[in-house]
Structure 1
Amino acid sequence: MTEIAAFSVAAALAAIVLVWRTVKEKSALAGRVSALEKENAALEKDKAVLESRVAIMMEDVAKAEERHRSSVEEIRRMNEQYLADSDARHRKDMDVMKEQFKAAAAEIASMNSREFREQSTAGIADMLAPIKEKFAELDRTMKTSHTESVKYNSELSASIRLVMEQSRHVGEEARNLADALSGRSKVQGDFGEMLLKDILKNAGLQEGLHFISQGVITDSGGHEVRSEEGAVMIPDTLVFYPDDTMVVVDSKVSLTAFNSYMAASSAADRDRYAREHVESVRKHVDELKSKDYASYIPEGKRKVDYNIMFIPIEGAFRLMLDEAPLLWQTAKNNNVLIVSQMTLVIVLNMIQMSWKQSEQEKNIEEVYRTASELMGQLQGWMSSFVDIGTSLDRAVKSYAESKKKLADSRQSVIGKIGKLESLGLSPKRSRGRVRISARKTGPESVIPKELENPDME
C-alpha cells in the first residue's frame, strides 16, 4: 500500500513537471512569434518606403524624358532653321556675284574687237590668272563651309541619338544612385564622378584628349597653379574643345539630405530635409564661386566664364527647383550653372553648337572678304584693259601717220628712192643693209612690197 502511494506521488510530480515545461515552451514560442511579427512589420514599412522612393524616381524619370524630348525637338528645329537660313544666304550671295560677273563680262566684251582678241589672248590669259585663282579660292571656301555644316549636322544627330540612348538607362541609373546615396559623402562624390565620366564617354568624348578627370591646373610653364590659400587647383573634370575652349564640371554636391528626404515618413521630416538639401546645394554653389577655377586657367587657353555644377539625380535637381526657384538664377549670376543628368549632355552640345556657328560665321566673312578682293581685282583689270586698248589705238594711229610720211607723196622717202631708181641706181643688200649702186639694165624696185601701195587702210 505504501509503495502504491509512493508511485502515485511520483507520477503526480512527473505530471506537474511536464505541465510546467509545456507552459514554459509555449511562453517562449509566444515571445518568438511576437518578435517575428514586429520584425515583419518593420520590413513591410521599409518595403513601403522603398516602393515610394522608386515610384517618385520613376515619376521623375518620366518627367525628365518628356523635357528631354522637348529639348531634342527644339535643338533639331534650331539646327534646321540655321541650315535653311545659311543655304538661303549662300544662294543669294552667289546669285548677286553671278549677276555682277555677267555685267562685268558684258562690259568687257563690248570693248573688245575680233582682231584685238586674237592678238591679245596670251596677255589676257596672264591677266585673268589671278582672278581665276581667286575664283578657285572662293569655291574652296564655300565647299569647306558646306562640308563643315554637313559634318556638324551629322555630329549633332549622333549626339541626339546618344542622349536618347542614355534616357533608356535612366531607371537603372536611378536605382544605382539610390543605393549610393545611403553611403558616405566620399561614396557620393565617387559615384557622381563615375556617372559624369560615363556621360562624357557616351557623348563620344575621349578621356585625356577631350576631357580629363581630377586634372591639376598648370600654367604655361607646366607648374601647378595654386589658389590664394595655397591649395592646388584640381577640378573634378575639365572638358576641352578643338578651339582651346575649356569648361569646368563639378560633381561633388552632397545628397545626404536628399536621401533623408526620400526616406522620411512624415511631412515635417520631409520639409526639414528639403530645406537642408537646398542649403547643401547653396553651400556648394558658394564653394565653387570662391574657388573660381576659370580665373586660374592658363593664359592662351580660351575659357567659358562659369563652372557647371552637376547634380547626378533628376529628383534632387527638381527638389532644389521646387523648394528654391530663385537659387538656379542666383547661382548663374555667380557664374555657376546647375545641371542635372538629363540636361548635362544638352548643355555641352549647345556650347559646342555656339562655337560651330561662330566658325560658320567666320567662313561667311571669309567668303565676303574674298569676293570683295576679287571684285577689286576685276575692277583694276578692267581699268588696265581700257588703258591697253587706248595704247593700241594710239600705236595704230602713229603707225598710220609714219607710213603716210614714208610713202604717200613724191616728196616722201619712197618717192625719192623711186627718183633715184629712175636715174639708174639699184639696191644691194648686204648683211641686212641696203646699198645703192649703178645698174646697167632694167629697173629693180627698192620699195618693199608691203609699201608699194601708199594708200592707208
Structure 2
Amino acid sequence: MEEVTLLFIGAALGGLVVYLILSKKLAIYKYQYETKSEIKEQLLKEFKLISNEVLDGGNKNLLYKNNLEMEKVITPFRDKINALEKKISECYDKELRDKISLREELKSLGELNVKLSQEALNLTTALKGNNKIQGNWGEMILESILEKSGLKKGAEYEVQETTNNVNGDRIQPDVIIYLPEQKHVIIDAKLSLKSYELHVNEEDVIKKELFLKEHIKSIRRHINQLSEKSYQTSVKHNTLDFILMFIPIESSYLLAIQEDEELFWYAWERKILIVSPSTLHSTLKIIVALWRQEKQNKNAKNIGQLSGALYDKFISFLEDMEKVGRSLRIADKSYNDAMQKISTGRGNVISKLEKIKALGAKTSKKIPENLIDE
C-alpha cells in the first residue's frame, strides 16, 4: 500500500515538476513570442521606412537615369532637327541664288537668241541678196574670226587697204595679214553663195543637184577671178606666193570639196588656198604662234644686246677701278714719304717743334705720341 502511495506521490511530484518545467518553458516561449512579435513589428516598420527611402531614392535615380536616357535620345534628334533646319535654310538660300542665276542665264540666253536670230536673219538676207551684200556679209564673218584669233588690227592685220599690183591695176584685198620678217598674206571673202542657198532650200532632187553644180561653178569662177587680180604681186606688200580664199559657211565648203575632189588642187595650182572658218582659225593660230616666236626672238636678241652692253660697262668699271687703285697707291706713297720727313730722321720737323715747346713755348695741344720719334 505504501508502495502505491509512494508511487502516486512520486507521480504527483513528477507531474508537478513536469508542470513547473512546462510552465517555465511556456513562459519563456510566450516571452520569446512576444519579443519576436515586437521585433517583427519593428522590422516591418524599419522595412517600410527603408523601402520608402529606397523607392524614393530609386525614383530619383530612375528619374535621373531616365533623363540621361531621354537626353541621349533627344540630343541626336535635336541635332538632326538643327541640321535639317540648317539644310533647309541653305537649300533655300541656294535655291534663291540659283533662281537669280537662272534668271540671269535666261536673260543672257534670251539676248543670245535675239543675237542668233538676228545673225540668222542677216545670213538669210545675205544669201538671198546680190553678190555685193553676200560679199559684205562674208567680210563681216572674216573680221569676226580675226578679232577672236588674238591678232591686233592695225598692227598685225589691216582691212580694205588699197594698193596696186605689178601691172598697175588698183586692188583692194579684204584683209592683209602681217607676218614676221616683213611678209604678208592676203585673204579674200567675196565669194557668192547664192547657188548654195538655192541648193539647201530646194526639195526637188533634180533641181537640187543642178544648184549644187552651179555652186561649184561659182567657186571655180571666183578662183579664176582672184588669179587674174594677182593679189600676190602687190607692190606695197611682200606677200606670199598664194592668197587665202575664205568661204564663210563651213557646210558649203565641205559640200563643194566632197562633190568636186579636184577643186582644192584646182585652186592651189592658181596659187589660191581655199579656207573655211575652221581651217582659217587654225591658220591664224599658226600665225599668232609665229608672232609670239618672233617677239621671243626679239626679246632674246635684246637680252643678248643688253648683256653685251652690261659686260662692256663692267669692263670699263674694272678699268676705272684699276686707275683709282693706282692713284691711291701713289697717294699713299706720297703720304708716307711726307710723314717720314715730318716725324722720322735726324732733325725732323716734329723733334724741332718739341724742342721749341721744351724751351717754354706756350701750346694748347700735343703732338700724338706715335708721331714723336724716340
Under a length normalisation based on structure 2, what TM-score does the superposition of the two structures give?
0.50
Higher Rg of the two aligned structures: 2
Higher RCO, 1 or 2 (CA under 8 Å, sep at least 6)? 1
Under a length normalisation based on structure 1, what TM-score does the superposition of the two structures give?
0.42
